[in-house]
Structure 1
C-alpha cells in the first residue's frame, strides 16, 4: 500500500503525475497518485464519499473512498477521520472472501486517505427495501446466509464489523451479497479512535450488551445481533425495536424483547435466535449458517432453489468457530414457533434455539441408525403419500379395520390465523391471546377432532402468506378470512393450490373511507370510481384482481395486510382514499377507529370463507367437514356470531347459514 502525498488536479504544477486538461474541453478531473482518475461520485455517508474511478495503470474501473468535505472538519475531527480510514483499509485487507468487499490499494495525501476497492455494480439492501418494502423469505435467507459467511471470515480475521445493517450490504443483480463499509470496524492491535466506554454505530442495530456495565465492547456476537435486526427488517419491513436515539431503541429492547414476526415463516427461528438479548445464549455463527441453509434447502419453499443458487458459496467457506460444537447440516422440520405467544424473553428464545439443536441431533441419530426417519415422515403432499400412512395422508393402513384419526399422527393441531382483524381474529397484546370468531371456530373444530385447547397452536399468517404456510407445512389448517375461489383451488405452476372445507361464513364486499376527506366528498363506491382515487387492498386478495376490471384505480403497490391499508388510509399524506375488503373486516376497523373511518354501502358479490388445508389430506378434510356440519347445525355457530360479530355489523340476527359446498363427498 502507498503512503505518498501525491494528489492534485491537472495543471497544478505537479509534473507528470497528474492528468492534463481533457481533450474534450471539459474541466479536468482529480487524479490520485497519478493513477486513479475520479469520474463520478456514487455514494456518501458518515464521513466518507465513494467515487467511481478509472485505474489508468491497469485500465479498469474501481471504487475510491475518501473523506467527505474534509475542509469543513476541525483538525481533531480530521485526524480521527483519517485514522478511521486507515483502520478501515487495514481491516478489509485482512479478509479475502467473496462476500466481503475487496481492497486494492490505499493512498495517503495531504489531509486525505483514499481507499481503492473493487467496483461493485450493485444496490444496497436498504435501497431494495425502500423500493420493495419487504423481501420474500427465500431471497432474504440467501442474502442473510451470504452476509453471515462474510462475517465468519471477518471474525476469523479477528475483526468485528460493528455496523452491519441494510445500508452496508450490497446486492448484485445475480444475487451475490457483499458486506461493505468497515469504517468503524475494530480488530486486535488496532489503535483506539473513540473514547473508552463510548459506543458508536447505528442505534437500531446496536446489541444490548454493548450498554451493559463492564461491557466487553463489540464482539462477533454483537455483529450477529445486527444481522438478526437486518433479517427482521428484510422480511417484516421495519426494524424490530423502534427509536431514533440509542436510549429509545434499548428501552424498547428491554420492554419488548420478543418482536412479533408476521411474515418470517421458516426464517423465524433464525431471527429469534439472533435476537436473544444475552450474547451467551445467542445463536453462534455456525448454527445460524446451518439453519439458513435449512431454509434454502427446503424444496417446498417457493423460490428457495433459485435463491440458494445465487449464494455462490466460495470454496474457502467460512472458517469454523473452534469454540462452537459441530452442527449437523441436515434437513429438519424448521417451523417457526408461534410468534405471538412467547414465554419470558430470554428463556423463551433460549428454548427455541435449543429445540432446533435437539431436532437436528434427533435427525442425525436416526440417519446414523439407518432408521429411515426422513422417509417415515413423508407428509403425502399432492397425492404422493408417505410411508407413514401407506395410503393417503392420515388414512388407516390397509387391512387395519379401523379409520385412523388426524390426531393419531399430529399431536398438536397447527392453525394459521390473522392477528389484525377485530371481531374475526385479533391478537391481544396484554393477555397475549387471540380472540374472535375465527378463533372460536378453530377451537370448536379442534374439539370435534379430539384436541384440547392446550393442543392447538396458532401461527400468524398474512393474506399473501396463507398458502405458503400450508405448503411449507408450518400449519395444518388456515382459518383466516380465506375466501374460496377457483383460482386458489387450481393454482398454476407459479402458485400453490389449496383445498377448502366450507364455507363457514359468507361476507359481503365493501369499502372503507375516511370519515372526513379534505379533498373529495365520497358518498358511495361510484364516487371512488368516478374520481379515480386510489384504492388499497391486501396483496393477493380477491379484490386485487377484481376491482381493476370494474374500473377502480388501485394503489401503485398493495401491502401484505388490510391493516397496512388502513394505516395508509389514516395517513394524511397518503394518496389512498379507500380500503377494499369484506364488510365484516371493515366493520371491525370502524369500531377500532371511532370517528376516523366509515363504511360505504356494500357492493355486489360475496366472499365465502373456507378452512384451508393442503391438497391430498382426505382424513383432515373429512374431520373438518364433520366438525363444520355439527357447528352449523346447532347453536354454536349462532352463539359465535352473537359473541363476536353482531355488535360490529349492528345486526343481532346472524346471516343465513352457508351451504358446505366444499364438503360434498366428505
Structure 2
C-alpha cells in the first residue's frame, strides 16, 4: 500500500494525494534528485490481476510516456519519466497547481465567452502542435483540461492517444472516451483522428459556454451514445464569434470541420479583438428541442491537479453507416425495474440498463432525501456471488473483497436541491441474470 512519505524509484518522495480516477491515483511529490515538485500517477490494477495484465498496464504506461514526451508545448502537461513501484507502473509528470475545467463548470455552471475564447486559444494551440507531431489525443473533455490560478490552461492525459503509425494498447474494438464529448464517427465505431479531436474540443467549449454538452442532458449512457452517433446537436443559447467557431468544430462530417491549427488561429483573433477567419463551413444541423433553463450541472470529467481519463469504455459495435440509427435495446423487463433505497440523507436508485450473456450495464441515480441539496455522497453495496465491476464512470470506486463503495468526485459530489446525479458501470456475471443489490446511500 503506497502512502505519504514513500520513495518511488529511489528519487520521487510522495507528499499529498491530489486526485484519483478509475485508472490511477495522482500524488504531489518531490523529485529529490532535481529538487522540483512533480506529479506522480500510479496506475491502478484490478485486485488479483495476473502477470500478463500487469505487464500490459506497464506497456500502456510506457507507451503513454513515450507518446506524451514527444510533445513539448506550454499548454500541454509534460511527462518526465515512467517507473515501476511495487510492480505497478507510475508516470512522473509536470505538476500544475490547478482545477480541472470540469470542476470549474460543476461549480459555476458556465463561463463567459471571453474566458472560453482564452481557454480555446491555449488548448487548441497544444492540440495543433500534437497533430503536427502525428499525435491524436482521443479523449479531449473538461476533465482533461487544467486551469491554474493565473488562467493558464493545459491539456493532460495522452494516455489513450495514438501516434500515427504506432500501435496502441487500447485498440481492441471497443469505443474509448467519454460519450458526451465523443465525435459522431467515433461513437459509430470508427477510428479517432485529428478531426475527432476538433469535434471533442468543440463539444468541451460548447459545455463551457452553455453548461451542458452539445448532446443535451441525458443520464443514460447508452441513450447518450446513440444520440452522439446520430450527431444530434442541441441549439446553443449563446451567440457571437466564439459560438460560431464552436459550431464549425461540431460539423457532423469530419471533412467539413476546420483543422486544429485553423481553430487556434480563429481563437487567437477573437482574444486579440480581431474578426476570426474560418472556411465557409456552415453550421451543424440543430435537431434537439431547446434546452431547459441554464443551471449548474455535472459535466463528466476529472478534477484535481493532474487526473487521468475516466471515460466510459463501451464494448459494443455501432453502425459505421452514419445514416443508420443504432437500436437501443432494453434489457429484460425483470431487470429494468429500479430499486430505490433511502437512508442517511440521500436516496439511490439502481437499475440495469442493458444486459448480455455474461455481462450487464447498470446505472445508479443519487439524490438528496426529500429533494434536499447534497454535499458529498457515497453508495455502498455487496456484490452478489459471481459478479464483478469491470468499468465505472462518474464516481470513485473503492472495493474491499465483495464490498463496493462509490463516492462522488469533486466534479459531482455536490448535487443541487431537487436534482440528481448518476454513475454507471459495466459488470460481469458468471451465471444467470444480473441480481439487484441492496444499496445504502450516505452523506457525511
The answer, yes or no, to whether TM exceeds 0.5 is yes
Superposed, 1:496-575 pairs within 5 Å as 572=418
SS at match of 1:228: helix
Change (3 A) 1:38 1:294: same
Kept in 2: contact 1:232–1:264 (CA 8 A):
no
SS at match of 2:92: strand
Change (3 A) 1:211 1:126: closer
CA positional deviation for 1:294? 2.9
Change (3 A) 1:120 1:573: closer
CA positional deviation for 1:53? 0.7
Query: Which 5+ residue runs of structure 2 have no aligned equivalent?
Result: 295-371, 373-414, 421-444
Aligned equivalents of 1:253 and 1:67: distance in 2?
30
SS at match of 2:10: coil
Kept in 2: contact 1:134–1:234 (CA 8 A):
yes
Tell me, yes or no, if structure 1 residue 239 matches structure 2 residue 213.
yes
Decide which structure has greater strand share.
2
Aligned equivalents of 2:92 and 2:82: distance in 1?
6
Kept in 1: contact 2:202–2:249 (CA 8 A):
yes
Identify the match of residue 247 of structure 2 among 261, 272, 275: 272
Q: Which fold has the larger relative contact order, with Cα–Cα distance below 8 Å and residues 6 or more apart in sequence?
A: 2
Tell me, yes or no, if structure 1 residue 351 matches structure 2 residue 282.
yes
Question: What's 2:89 paired with?
Answer: 113
Tell me, yes or no, if structure 1 residue 331 matches structure 2 residue 275.
yes
CA RMSD of aligned residues (A): 3.3
Superposed, 1:209-248 pairs within 5 Å as 209-212=185-188, 215=190, 217-242=191-216, 243-244=218-219, 247-248=222-223
Change (3 A) 1:250 1:277: farther
Larger of the two Rg values belongs to structure:
1
Question: What's 1:207 paired with?
Answer: 183
CA positional deviation for 1:164? 0.6
Query: How does the TM-score come out when normalised to structure 2?
Result: 0.60
Query: Which 5+ residue runs of structure 1 have no aligned equivalent?
Result: 1-7, 10-26, 299-329, 335-348, 354-427, 433-460, 463-533, 535-567, 575-666
Question: What's 1:188 paired with?
Answer: 164
Aligned equivalents of 1:28 and 1:207: distance in 2?
40
Superposed, 1:605-644 pairs within 5 Å as none
SS at match of 1:204: helix
SS at match of 1:257: coil
Query: How does the TM-score come out when normalised to structure 1?
Result: 0.41
Kept in 1: contact 2:185–2:229 (CA 8 A):
no
Deviations 1:213-244 (A, max 9, x none): 7x3x1111111111011000001001111445
Kept in 2: contact 1:203–1:244 (CA 8 A):
no
Change (3 A) 1:138 1:297: same
Aligned equivalents of 1:59 and 1:176: distance in 2?
23
Decide which structure has greater helix share.
1
Kept in 2: contact 1:129–1:234 (CA 8 A):
yes
CA positional deviation for 1:111? 2.4
Aligned equivalents of 1:221 and 1:56: distance in 2?
41
